[in-house]
Structure 1
Amino acid sequence: MVEGEGEAVVACSDKSMKIGASMWDLETGEKLLHIPTCASPPFGFLCLRNRFLVASQLNRHGSVGDGAIAVWSFHKPQQPLLNYTVEAIGTLCCTNDGIYLVGGALSGNVYIWDVTSGKLLKTWRAHNKSLNCMLFSFDNSLLISSTDDGMIFVWSMISLLDVEETRSSPPPLHYLSGHISFITGLLTTPNSNYSILISSSLDGTCKVWDFISGKHMQTQAYPLAITSIALHQTESLLFCGTEQGSIFVDKLDVGRGEGPFVVIKGQPLELNGHSGAITALTSSRSSLISASEDCSICVWDIFSWEVTRRFSLQKARRTSDNDG
């Protein structure tokens, strides 16, 4: 999402699809930008400082020492800045102020760069498995990382950056275990009085944690594997995308003075508008935006739950193609 003069939705395909990345005006539906050479793995694509698109580039799936991080300016999208990395980087995340960029490697290594100078500040072996999700806490003081085996680690940024030897690291503050399959999403709740982390997994659950104490607070089970999650802070909603393309909507108690953050028990609302697994979810002021393996992006009104706009990442048909 890009804020400021307005809101926009940005989507990127992986390298196998050869579709690239596109940006649309959320209100008018106008395509603002298309970068045909952009491609990234899941969680390897982000908007930096509302001025740049950043994507990890895996030249060969699973390759080591054959990757790069590409940066496109909104104003010069056809001239990316390529930063070649020691090994292939999968997942990316950045601090909310855009000062630090972090990349997680397929090997389990994590890299921290200073965005302004481009200097590599830290690298260490964070996990024994491939990293798939990373997230900063709302105040940027903690880095949260997860892996293919369902483990979640919480790291102190102060401790990481204060270590003199760049390849050594203090142990994580917490090991959060409980998922029994691939982690598919991590979220924090900036408007809550509690230090809350929500994680989702292909095991069909979302778990709620206090990431300061490391305490597990709640598990919400669903009948399908969860492939993506998002929050709408204003309306206190949790969105859970599934492997079959449906989206569950749960109401939240965000603990604004009484008790902990919990998912309110009850039958969740189920949205259906995609024919493939949900690959990404996010929210705007009054909308839910969902992306799917069917190459479609739906914009849902959060009050009527109707699809108000639909975008397509598919390549345009040739003029010789027809429906008949």
Structure 2
Amino acid sequence: MGEVVLASCAEQGILGTDLRSGALVATFEEAAAQPHGFGPVGSSSGHIFAVQAKKALFHVWAWGDKKPCYRGSLPEKMTAMAFSGDGALCFGGAASGSIYVWQVGTGCLLRCWPAHFREVSQLLVSEDGSFLVSASADANVNVYNLADVFVDPAPKPFHSWSGHSLGVTAIALLPGTGLQQTVASASLDRSVRLWDVASGRPLLSRSMPAAVRGLAAAPAGGE
């Protein structure tokens, strides 16, 4: 199977489209997902997840199956969700601003802490699993060392960026290794900003003609 783009539609669920041919290759029903609340479970599990909008529920599908293979309840409504690359950890961002971490194999809640003052808009886990990036409607972007998350009951971010004046709608990790990476953030304030993970320094700010609601980073060497 080639590269597939996933898109969520309230009427039709989650649709998988072949990136090169444009052909519809998969449909996942019973999905009314949040904008940053659906995607693959890890990098190679063969499963898709979705947080249900306006409900404290999430569903999981095996690739190729239209109906969910798992339906689960959540402690509160989640507005964002992400998995570690190996699929072992699930990170949920809540409408309250809290972040939850579950162990996928057991379903055990490992950690929960108040990370933001308003709803979490997106979560990203670095490819090597060393840090977590959270964005929020409170206009902040936080970066957490995952080693600290599992030691401290109330972990503090090692970077907290507050350059946006309105809610942050999307984040993306530009290609890199370890802490030598760049975070891009977009906001309702009509700007896109770049931040250096290693130093915490702001690198770039660009004004846009309208509010930006999504970001994607091309792979290393991509056009």
Does TM-score exceed 0.5, indicating one fold? yes
Please point out which of 85, 90, 93 is paired with 2:74: 85
Distance 1:191 1:79 in 2: 34
Corresponding residue number in structure 2 for 1:181: 166
Please point out which of 116, 119, 137 is paired with 2:126: 137
Is 1:156 aligned with 2:119? no
Contact 1:18 1:36 (C-alpha < 8 Å) held by counterparts: no
* TM superposition shift of 1:88: 0.9
* TM superposition shift of 1:234: 4.2
Corresponding residue number in structure 1 for 2:197: 211
Q: Indicate the structure (1 or 2) with the bigger Cα radius of gyration.
A: 1
Aligned positions of 1:1-324 closer than 5 A:
5-13=1-9, 17-48=10-41, 49-50=43-44, 51-58=46-53, 61=54, 66-163=55-152, 168-191=153-176, 194-234=180-220
Which string of whole-angstrom CA distances, capped at 9 and with x for unpartnered residues, describes residues 215-234 of structure 1? Answer: 11221222222221212234
Contact 2:180 2:198 (C-alpha < 8 Å) held by counterparts: no
**Residues 80 and 230 of structure 1, relative CA distance in 2, 3 Å threshold:** same
Contact 1:71 1:82 (C-alpha < 8 Å) held by counterparts: yes
Amino acid at match of 2:174: T
Gaps of 5+ in 1: 238-324
Contact 1:21 1:38 (C-alpha < 8 Å) held by counterparts: yes
Q: Secondary structure at the match of 2:105?
A: coil
Q: Secondary structure at the match of 1:198?
A: strand
Q: Secondary structure at the match of 2:50?
A: strand
Distance 1:155 1:235 in 2: 27
Distance 1:20 1:188 in 2: 26
**Residues 74 and 145 of structure 1, relative CA distance in 2, 3 Å threshold:** same
Distance 1:79 1:225 in 2: 34
Gaps of 5+ in 2: none
Which string of whole-angstrom CA distances, capped at 9 and with x for unpartnered residues, describes residues 117-142 of structure 1? Answer: 22221111111111111112232111
Contact 2:174 2:183 (C-alpha < 8 Å) held by counterparts: yes
Distance 2:52 2:83 in 1: 17
Query: Runs of at least 4 residues of structure 1 off by over 6 A?
Result: none
Corresponding residue number in structure 2 for 1:293: none
What is the RMSD of the two structures over their aligned residues, measured on CA atoms? Answer: 2.0
Q: Secondary structure at the match of 1:149?
A: coil
Which string of whole-angstrom CA distances, capped at 9 and with x for unpartnered residues, describes residues 65-112 of structure 1? Answer: x51121111144314301211111110111222221101010111111
Distance 1:142 1:201 in 2: 22
Q: Secondary structure at the match of 2:33?
A: coil
